[in-house]
Chains A and B, each alone.
Chain A
Amino acid sequence: MSETHWTGRDGHGHKSGSIELRDIAGKPVLALSGVWSVPTAAALSRQIADLSLPSQGQVGIDLTQVSVMDTSGAWLIHGLMVDLKKNGAAPTLENLKEQHAPLMHLVEGAVANPDESIHSKSTSPLRLLEITGEATIAALSKGRELTNFVGMLTVSFLRAVKSPSRLRPISIVNQLELTGLRAIPIIGLLSFLIGVTLAYLMADQFRAYGLDVFTVNVLGIFVLREAGVLITAIVIAGRSGSAFTAEIGTMKVNEELDALRTLGLDPVEVLVLPRVLALVITLPFLAFWADLMGLLGGGMMTMLVLDMTPLQFVQQLKEAVNLKTFMVGLVKAPVHAYIIAVVGCFEGFKVQRSAESVGKQTTTSVVEAIFLVIVATAAFSVMFSVLGI
């Protein structure tokens, strides 16, 4: 089949349409010819704009030569007639082909008054004030909604405690696997590498002062108190928090949340509670795993750089850290987990019914979760310092 056959409609692809103002027996006639369809519409509308339309008397619009017409062509012809009438002329369609008549009729019948509703957006400087106000109110109402959500979650948790049959163990185990088990490789690898980096940097610095062994002290304290749990929380916020938002959000788009409600199921209990509980259970384990891998990575690096034996490393570590150091780090894990899961699920519920919204809320969820996790870390540091831990 030749190229030209299907690059245009009905084999008329390379033809074009035209419009010409003629004078036939003292009467102005607009002679239309050729293809009046989408491919030629842009050129035709320019031609029409360039015409100086008659402003009075009878005007004929001759359609004899029009070979192809679609709705855009019919629309242009209709617009031409409207313009002529506005000018004060009396246009008449001549020689409208039988097969084009229903289309002209359709266009004339369908036409609504072209209103400006689509393109009306104010751009005044007052708009800036308006945007600021809107953003403030949005932030405040979001805070209220989040509080409300935490309340609903608490209620449904207490209900589940009262009658444990509401706890949905299968869901929880499923989430334990997805959020915990499957995250082990990535968290292990990341912590190991961070341990390596830390040890290398510190060994370099401490050696200058002859304090080589302190590398182990700082490594142990930093990994156990802060780094292990923080890395875990950040990875999980990106990995599971985003998944929560996207899952719940997509369900909302598909009206699955409404379906749950009509079936007498509480979406918070069915979807949120298992996710929150699962994450609160897994995150401490993941943080523990991150601690181990961080120490392993750091330990290997110190031994390499500082020529320590494993025994020396362990002895030095034992002097530097104790159970409290470890517990101070780990106690933060469930709090981080709670923040990530609640924010993830909450943003999922906030999804509007569009694909774009799912993406937007997922981004928001990850950013918010990481932000809040770091705020919580700071709050813990202040608290521990005040309590003298």
Chain B
Amino acid sequence: MTEAAPPPGLTVEAKRSDEAVIRIRGLRTQFGPQIIHDNLDLDVTKGEVLGVVGGSGTGKSVLLRTIVGLQRPTAGSIELLGADVLSLTDQAKEALRTRTGVLFQDGALFSSLTVAENIQVPMREHTDLPQELMDELAELKIAMVGLPPDAAGKYPSELSGGMRKRAGLARALSLDPEIVFLDEPTAGLDPIGAAAFDQLILSLQKSLGLTVFMVTHDLDSLAAICDRIAALIDKKVRVATMAEHLRDDDPWLHEYFHGPRARAALDAKASRVSA
């Protein structure tokens, strides 16, 4: 590749860095002697869908957990919606959490509550909505994520893996957050469901200015809905659009984006665009 090309992602970032809803500087995460992230910088701009990729053990989920405050980094600073996550009071942290939603890998639904009750947990804790409206909103979210209406009264143990994931998404979207963090959202969904999920994210994003931080390995999702892709390489993150990543000559990126499965996803995207 040419040395003249600007570092991937820099141009995009410089243009709108003041709109960053997530701003990470000099992040260092360390478990004992093992360093996961070192001096990692990342800006996520308002209203974008950022896909996070990386090989096993590169700390994709750890990065997500660190940003939402489940894990304390060894060093560095994290700004979430303009607030410094690491120095917030508990009250401020709670307020901030009503503006973010997290979907965990297997949904992490509360097993002793029904799906509708799960969705209502954040509403109950953080709002004064009347029960009737909460019931209606829960039904709405259930329909939005593509679950049948009778899922409302079911317990997580009665749902399939894919349905649990959708229910988890409905709970993450319960308070219409500004940022949603999705950990492998489409893994375990059938291709039709995964595509419908992608479209759901897109339509919510348009209406709410939703920012999506998505750890994913679904190349179809990456190609279809991600504005930019952050690749975790060498304990740092390399952010660029799909097209820029395709030109990158990093061996891992090359293999990732030029493997047989990536080609299929990209071909599919190309044919969709031309159609």
Q: Which residues of A contact B (CB under 8 A)?
A: 1, 5-7, 9-10, 37-39, 41-42, 45, 69-72, 74-75, 79, 99-103, 105-107, 110-115, 117-119, 253, 352-357
Shortest Cβ-Cβ A-B pairs, 4 listed: A354-B111, A103-B207, A353-B157, A70-B176
Q: How many A-B residue pairs have CB under 8 A?
A: 119
Check A106 against B176 for contact (C-beta < 8 Å): no
Among A69, A71, A113, A353, point to the contact of B140 (Cβ < 8 A): A71
Q: Assess whether B99 is in contact with A9, with CB atoms less than 8 Å apart.
A: yes
Pairwise interchain contact B127-A99, C-beta atoms closer than 8 A: no
List A contacts of B156 (CB < 8 A): 353-354
C-alpha gap A37/B92 in the complex (Å): 20
* Other-chain residue from A71, A105, A356 in contact with B176 (beta carbon distance below 8 A): A71
B203 interface hit (Cβ, 8 Å):
yes
Flag B128-157 by CB within 8 Å of A: 1 or 0 each.
111001011101111110000110110111
- Which of A7, A45, A112 gathers the greatest number of chain B CB atoms within 10 Å? A112
> By the criterion CB–CB under 8 Å, are A102 and B203 in contact?
yes
Nearest A residue to B157, CB-CB: A353
**Residue in B closest to A116 when the chains form the complex, CB atoms:** B135
Q: How many whole Å from B93's CB to the nearest CB in chain A? A: 11
Main secondary structure of the interface of A (DSSP, over half): helix
Closest-by-CB residue of B relative to A69 is B207
**Alpha-carbon distance between A103 and B153 when the two chains are bound, in angstroms:** 25
Residue of B nearest to A7 (CB): B95
| Complex partner residue of A115 from B129, B137, B144, B149, CB under 8 angstroms | B149
Collect the chain B residues with CB atoms within 8 Å of residue A37's CB: 176
Whether A103 contacts B129 by the Cβ 8 Å rule is no
Binding site for A on B (CB under 8 A): 81-84, 92, 95-96, 99, 110-112, 114, 116, 123, 127-130, 133, 135-137, 139-144, 149-150, 152-153, 155-157, 173, 175-176, 178, 200, 203-204, 206-209
Closest to A78 in B: B140
In Å, the complex CA distance between A195 and B137 comes to 63
Q: How far does the alpha carbon of A5 sit from the alpha carbon of B96 in the complex, in Å?
A: 10
Known: A71-B141, A71-B144, A110-B143. Is A117-B206 also a contact (CB below 8 A)?
Answer: no
Q: Which of B176, B204, B209 contacts A72 (CB 8 A)?
A: B176
A290 → B minimal CB distance (Å): 38
A253 to B157, CA, bound (A): 9
Q: How far is the CA of A102 from the CA of B199 in the complex (A)?
A: 11
Q: How many Å lie between the Cα of A112 and that of B143 in the bound state?
A: 7
The residue on A at minimum CB distance from B129 is A42
User: A36 CA to B7 CA in the complex, in Å?
Assistant: 42
Which residues on the A side are within 8 Å of B152 (C-beta)? 117-118
In the assembly, what is the distance between CA of A107 and CA of B136, in Å?
12
Q: Let me know if A356 and B173 touch, CB within 8 A.
A: no
Q: Report yes or no: B127 in contact with A39, Cβ–Cβ below 8 A.
A: yes
A117 adjacent to B82 (CB under 8 Å): no
Select which of B82, B111, B140, B153 is within 8 A of A110 by beta carbon: B140
- Contact status A103-B204, CB under 8 Å: yes
Q: Is the CB of B99 within 8 A of A79?
A: no
